[in-house]
Every structure is written in structure tokens, then in C-alpha cells.
A and B are shown apart, each in its own frame.
Chain A
């Protein structure tokens, strides 16, 4: 079936393609008008110097040059996004996998209830999540410090969001709180799709749930795993709401991420051209990452 599908689409004539085009037309028209067109406009904006009101001055690629050479905050933000990326590929994914194994492969009560609860953070508005976590990290009466003090770990209680070394991890934890649920449900379905037969052999050898997962399941769920990694990576680069509402990138840029830096340039510093250039850069980066990743995944699946 696959082979016949992949029959040379190049050989299809324009005339025979017409009906397909008609079916795609509504989607494509809307997409082109309200996504692609603004995207092009954005690229155009990235070539001017503009305060948001008043005249636009064409400066070519100078905005990009400025970002790469004379904007230390850009590199700072970029570094933070990369750190976020590496942590994102591990933490929420591992948690998601652990919970998936817990829910799908171990004996327990109330699976459905727990799955519902675990997914809940995904449905909240990011504004609400930001306010919640800002409150949780409050050094005086936030939940985190209160719990630490309550169990006798007073020395661990501190001003999380004010500490330049801790603020990024703290925000990352809040983000993971939202994101792990997404990973978890994908892994659950992936685990469920594996035929029990394969697990039986391992069980006979006495393997427990975790061991079964590692040796038996993992090879089967490479595809979904790869997808989760990609989507998580994209999300890691797009982080905005949490950082913007909780710390705005502070203190002293310790939690600055690219999207916030872009916002600052466009809307606070009156440097719309720079903001647009940063936006184009961010978009291009993510697109390139995605394409590379999709290629790698296709090669992996072909094995």
C-alpha cells in the first residue's frame, strides 16, 4: 500500500491534480492569508529601524548584525534557551515516562482518575499557572518554603526567584509541571500499543515493570519518543508566558529567554525592527531544528 502511495507523484499532471487543489484550497487560502503573509511582513519589518510610530528607516541586515555582534543579552537569552532545551529533553520526558509506566504497566487502583489529574495542568491558561507558581516561590509564605520549613529543612528555604543561579531552574520546574502531562499521555498510548506477548517473555524471566519498559518497550516506541522529544524541544524554545509574568527575565537577565528579549525589544525598548529580527531568527531556528529532527526520525523509523 505504501509503495503504491509513493508512486511517483511527480508524474501526476496538473490537470489531474486540480481536484486535490480544490480540496486543499480553503485551508491553504486561510493559512496563506493569516499566517504566511504576516510572516513575510515580519521579515520585511526586520529590515527597518522603527519605533512603533513615526517613520521607518530601511537598514537592510543591520538588525541581524547588531543582534549577533553587539547584543550581549541575545547570547545570554540564547544560552538560557539551550540550557532549557537540554533540561526539557530530560526532565518532563522522564517524568512522563515514569508516570506512563506507573499508569499503564503496574497494578494499581484508579488509573483513570490519576491520568485525569496528571493531565490537568495542561488545560490551564499560562497566565494562571504563572501566578500560581509565583506565589508558590514566595520566600515568606509560598508553598515551597513553607513545606520545607514544615519538614525541618529550613536551611533549604530561600528566595528562589531572586537568586540568579536558581531562578532559571525554578521557572523550568514550573514549566515542567505543565509539560510532563503531554509527554505522559503519548507514552501511555505508546506502551498500550505494544502487544502483551513481548512482555510475557520478560515477565517469565522475572523482570519488573521498569525493567520491562527498558528492555522490551523502548525499542518499540522510538517513533513516539522521537516525536515527543521534538515537540518538547520546540516548546522549550518558545517559552514565554511563564518567564514574562513571573520574572520578566530578571534578576539581571538571569532568566531571560529569547522570546522575552524579543518582546522587550519590540514593545519596551521601541526597537521594533530588532524585535522583528529576533522573531525571524527564533522562527528560523525552530524550523531548522524541526526539519533536521524529522529527517532523523524518518531515518530511525526506516530501521
Chain B
């Protein structure tokens, strides 16, 4: 919205009206053209995914790039049933929801302390959390396996939730802290003067003000958890507990690959995220940018 509004403002302000090649309207056409050209770069692979998902394997061998001649919608049904994607989808949701909940709650509490409270070892603790941003989860897989095993959590949803939460908390704290640090002190001071307790301040002032950042955090955490691959591959042993990315990887087998089925599965997998992105775009973008400004 912001972007469009700014653009409209400029146009209303009556830009330079030199005629000819660099006239306003022509310039707009050129830039739009450039934008379209570049979007092809993005959309061509996506179109390929969609086309491939409705071909049969036989057709894919003979017609790998073209428009499908025989639209096999059955691929989606097959991925859903025989490919077990119905189960994987449910599992992905059952993992994503607790993860998002825990990340939101814990990040908010911690960020509140980091931004609005004074305490000993504040900087040290913050740096300890930052370390989590730099280390990829994949290298911790083996130790995590043994730890979750000894906790009796292997092969459960918690095996996927807890490490993911631990990995996402640094980002969440960083993000929320930047937002909270930006709060105008007047509001905070006013609330304090009115006799607001620390907890009340959090609940009544800080959280509502952080709503955009919280939404961004929600969307990001959901996306990362949804697409998380390396955790379920190792920590989940039974097929019944697997999530979508593992299922997707399965069609990409070593000796036999079923690409059309896989692309159908891929579409099932990324549709929720794409929809979420389309509806929560602003929060998505705001989330990244807020982190960037701090």
C-alpha cells in the first residue's frame, strides 16, 4: 500500500513533463516493460512446476517443456492419498502451530526485557542469543537426535517443534527488540505514571504496539517451520509422523524419480505459504526491514 501511495503521490505532484522518449508516460511504460521482463525470470520456473504437475511421467519424457497435452489432475489426488501427503500436511500444521505459539510468547517476553529493562549481563546474554543466527541447524542434527532420544521425545511432534523454536528465538528476539526500542518513550512514561506495572505495560502497551512485528514473526516462523527439512528427516522415524518436505524429498529418489508427482506435491506444499504471503505481504516485508534497520 505504502509503495503504491508513494507512487501515486509522485504522479499527482506533476512530474517533469518533457515530451518524447523520456516523457513521463513513456518512462512508465519502459519501466513496466523492464519489470515484466524480469518477472519472466521468476515465473518461467513456476510455470514449469505447474505444467509438470499435470503431466504423466510418460508425457514428461516426451514433452518436458511444453504445455501439457493431457492434463492429469489425478497427480494431485495421488500425491494426497498414495503419496501420503494428506498425513504429511496434517503433521506440518500440527508442528507449525505450537512452534509459532512458543516463538511468539518467548520472544516477546525476552525482547521486552532486552529492550525496556536493565539488568546484569544484558549484553552478554544478547550475544549468546545472536550466536543462534549464525549456526545452521543441519550441523546439530546428530547431537539433537541423541538428546531427544534420551528425553523420550524422538519421533514426536515435539522433536520438530522444540529445536525449531530454539533456532528461531534469536531472530524473534532481535526483531522484536528493534521494534520495542523504537517506541516513543512518552507513551511508556505516561503508562508508568498512571501506575502501570511491568506486566501491565507489556500487556497493555508494548504488545499492541508490536503487532506488525509480531505478525511478521508469525509469518516467518510459519514459513521456516513449514519448509524445514533436515529436522524431520532425521528426528522422525515413522512415516506416519513425517512432514511435507520429507514427503517431497521422497519422490526425488535415488534410482527412480517421479517428477510429476513430486511437482504436484510441491504445489500442495507451497500453496499455504504463498497464500499466507499474499495476504500478509506487508507484515512479511516489514519484518525483514525492521531487522535490517537495527
Contact = CB atoms under 8 A, between A and B. Distances in A.
Interface string A68-79: 000000000000
Given A132-B49, A189-B286, A223-B292, A35 B277 contact: no
A302 interface: no
Nearest to B129: A31
B42 A121 contact: yes
B39 A114 contact: yes
A192 interface: yes
Contact of A108 (B32, B244, B270): B32
B136 A259 contact: yes
B136 A13 contact: no
A190 B229 contact: no
A104 B109 CA distance: 35
Interface string B252-265: 10000001001100
Interface string A4-19: 0101011011101101
A157 interface: no
Interface string B125-155: 1001111111110111011101100000000
Interface stretch (A21-29, A162-170, A211-219): A21-29
A115 B288 CA distance: 14
Contact of A19 (B48, B130, B198, B277): B198
Interface stretch (A39-47, A57-65, A84-92, A249-257): A39-47
Given A45-B142, A102-B34, A30 B6 contact: no
B151 to A, nearest CB: 9
Contacts of A107: 7, 10-11, 15, 24, 27-28, 31
B274 interface: yes
A41 to B, nearest CB: 4
B252 A108 contact: no
Contacts of B266: 124-125, 127-128, 131
Contact of A42 (B31, B38, B123, B142): B142
Interface residues on A, range: 35 or more
Interface of B is mostly: helix
B31 to A, nearest CB: 4
B270 A112 contact: no
Interface in B87-134: 102, 105-107, 109-110, 112-114, 117-123, 125, 128-134
A262 interface: yes
Interface string A117-150: 1111101111110011101101001110010000
Which among A14, A39, A131 has the highest number of chain B CB atoms within 10 Å? A131
A202 interface: no
A20 B119 contact: yes
Nearest to B269: A125
A186 B112 contact: no
A289 B134 CA distance: 9
B44 interface: yes
A42 B140 contact: yes
A126 B227 contact: yes
A141 B64 contact: yes
A120 B135 contact: no
Contacts of A119: 277, 284-285
Contacts of B1: 112
A282 interface: yes
Contact of B3 (A104, A132, A133, A280): A104
Given A118-B39, A126-B227, A192-B3, A240 B119 contact: no
A7 B118 contact: yes
Contact of A37 (B28, B121, B125, B147): B147
Contacts of A39: 135, 140, 143
Interface of A: 1, 5, 7, 9-10, 12-14, 16-17, 19-21, 23-24, 26-28, 30-31, 33-39, 41-42, 45, 99, 102-104, 106-112, 114-121, 123-128, 131-133, 135-136, 138, 141-143, 146, 177, 182, 185-186, 188-190, 192-193, 203, 223-224, 227-228, 234, 238, 240-241, 245, 259, 262-263, 266, 272, 276, 279-280, 282-283, 286-287, 289-290, 294
Across the A-B interface, give the 3 residue pairs with the lowest CB-CB distance, nearest first.
A189-B289, A17-B119, A279-B139
Given A34-B166, A189-B293, 17 more contacts: A9-B119, A19-B198, A24-B109, A24-B125, A26-B106, A28-B110, A31-B169, A34-B147, A34-B162, A102-B31, A119-B277, A125-B244, A125-B248, A141-B65, A185-B289, A279-B139, A283-B139
